[in-house]
Structure 1
């Protein structure tokens, strides 16, 4: 007896329509900004009814907020919890941080559009900026500072601790910012999941070197030894 024909459910159609609207909005918001993008344009680009925007996202602001979190997936708070877990070595924590942060690059053009969206929000801030600052920047930064205080054996963070935390995050962020430049100067460095995994591995080594330099400057020996052991293992493996 032949199997019954596969039919598309209303739920599946709804998920697909919502995703089309989300990605169309991401591209338009990244290109034109929130104020200059109309819901009519988004609906037209998504080949959807304009009423579907209200149905799935509430309003234009709700759709705009969704473009900051949904296309790349993941939750910065979940990543913070993972690399802040008690008992992790510095290398283990930094590896979780770098791999989690760079994983979004594997989505290619969507990652580029998300980067443009964030840059446009910096230039033309909306009410979304406060949310992004607290969730995507301040939260992970504070967790990195706490991690550094623990491994540098500091009772409290000072300006140099924050400088180091910003520098570590900057190692990952610069790959998002420099995507198009890299494609011209050195094509291939970001063109496959394997290349991105290699970047994550290298950035862990660079980050450990930065922490080791700061530990040495402060006269702290434990993190320096840990970083040195890690770098020695990497040299032997290569």
Structure 2
């Protein structure tokens, strides 16, 4: 009785992370068609998928050698999915431990202004447009440190090559992972400060609030508008960073 030939199956580790190249093999894209015009653009679904957000975010950090970037998106639901993957890719790029200042929903002008406030850092903007046929086109616009669309020589060609050759960056260890911080732009913060200092409608002041101590309790202690960087003794960015509520 003849025995059937056995086929040896490859083993996959269940304890460690999957290699980066596996994601691309399962979800390939045409890098020449998608990575162009200052970023990544394609019809969704079909030409582009959410994983491209991770790849582009990680590659942007490495090509720009950035320890901080700023990101924003429009209010479209599809943009939010790509945006989250972009942030995750950026904080998991090799040894850079990149800090991602997220504006969430903001336009290009606000993003570029924030990039300048943070000390001329790179940036990314995720937008989605819907055609007459209902098809969605996602664009991930990348910007250099000067706020200009990322050119071929400035890094876009290298990003395309890294993705095409399955060299998407991954973190080297747990300590190399960055973090995502919600950022309040300077213009928004100053507007809130201005509104809070506007005089209220005139009228009789209750006796219980006429004393200086009572007024101090109502208004709270004075807070300086700028804070100093404890490391370098320089004024920090005039916006406000806070821990993001999302799990990254």
Q: For this structure pair, what is the TM-score category when the shorter chain's length is used for normalisation?
A: under 0.3
TM-score, with length taken from structure 1: 0.27
Higher helix share: 1
TM-score, with length taken from structure 2: 0.27
